[in-house]
Amino acid sequence: MYAIFAKELRSLFLSPLAWSLLLAMQLLLAWLFLVQLEQFLQIQPKLAGMENAPGVGQLVIAPLLDSSAVILLLLIPLLSMGMFSREASNGTLNLLFSSPVSTSAIVLGKYLALLALLAIMLLMIALMPISLLLGTAPDMGTLAAALLALALAMASYAALSLWISSLTQQPAVAAVLSCTLLFLLWIINLTGSGEISPLMEQLSLSSHFQRMLSGLVTSADITYFLLLTSVSLLLCIHRIERLRVDG
């Protein structure tokens, strides 16, 4: 598993696509961060005279991390789209199957390599709200909860995208399907009414993410992300095992 992890991580860091996506993400989020910070500074004198006025956490940090979750929903499938589909189309997946490595080790090795790159992306995002400590005092508990929510969301995005990558030999198809499914899970709470609405709320990525973003960390929300991640990985392992047996 370590050998697969090292190979995939090296491949990710040597990929122009990964560096391009990192640059695009950081430029876009830095611009959003500066715009939101400027708007906060403009209205700060008015907020000073208000009771229970929203602070920098609600007006700058929360919108930044919310935007980050949506942008990463589109970027992570692009990073993971070729992890299995490209190997299947090139025929190198059969060589991997012939090695004395378990299917679980293959999937987890690739997943951990993807998580290592996502950890760097998370750190790059976290540096922006943390930089506010130089001039203000945001609620560190709320910030920690928001970053935890983003980390869990990124892990679930990666697991689901990795599973979709195992279903097709076309990386572009894997990326489109992953983005579509993740976006559907994000907005599914907007559909349904009556008795169906609570179910849609529980299935929605955004509803669980938004609660943690506001500083409310519950076991139900953490369990949702962990279940989504583990189920996606189990489905991926099952799919690769079938390919291994059929091949």
What ranges do the domains of the chain cover?
2-246
Query: For residue 28, how many C-alpha atoms fall within 13 Å in the half-sphere facing its CB?
Result: 14
The token duo for 187 is 């907005």
Residues 171-218: tens digit of each pLDDT: 999 999 999 999 999 988 887 655 567 788 888 899 999 999 988 899
Nearest to 33 by CA among 52, 56, 10, 53: 56
85 pLDDT band, cuts 50/70/90, is: confident
User: What CA–CA distance (Å, rounded) separates 244 from 247?
Assistant: 5
The confidence score (pLDDT) of residue 239 equals 92
Distance between CA atoms of 240 and 93, rounded to whole angstroms?
A: 10
pTM of the model: 0.92
Average pLDDT of the chain, as a whole number: 88
* Residue whose C-alpha is closest to residue 121's, from 31, 27, 186, 25: 25
Q: Which residues, 6+ apart, have CB-to-CB distance to 5 below 8 Å?
A: 109, 110, 112, 113, 116
Between CA 3 and CA 146 the distance in angstroms is: 33
Model pLDDT, residue 192: 60
Q: Do the Cβ atoms of 157 and 73 come closer than 8 Å?
A: yes
- In whole angstroms, give the CA distance from residue 69 to residue 60: 15
Which whole number is the average pLDDT over 114-118?
A: 95
Taking only the tens place, the pLDDT of each residue in 161-174 is 999 999 988 999 99
- Over residues 103-108, mean pLDDT: 92
Provide the residue type at 204 as one letter. Answer: S
Residue 114 predicted with pLDDT over 90: yes
Q: In this structure, what is the dihedral angle of CA atoms 217, 39, 130, 229, given to the nearest 10 degrees? A: 40
Q: How high is the pLDDT of residue 14?
A: 87
Average pLDDT over residues 23-45: 89
**Across 37-58, average pLDDT:** 77
| Residues 33, 56 contacting (CB under 8 angstroms) | no
Strand, helix or coil for residue 217? coil
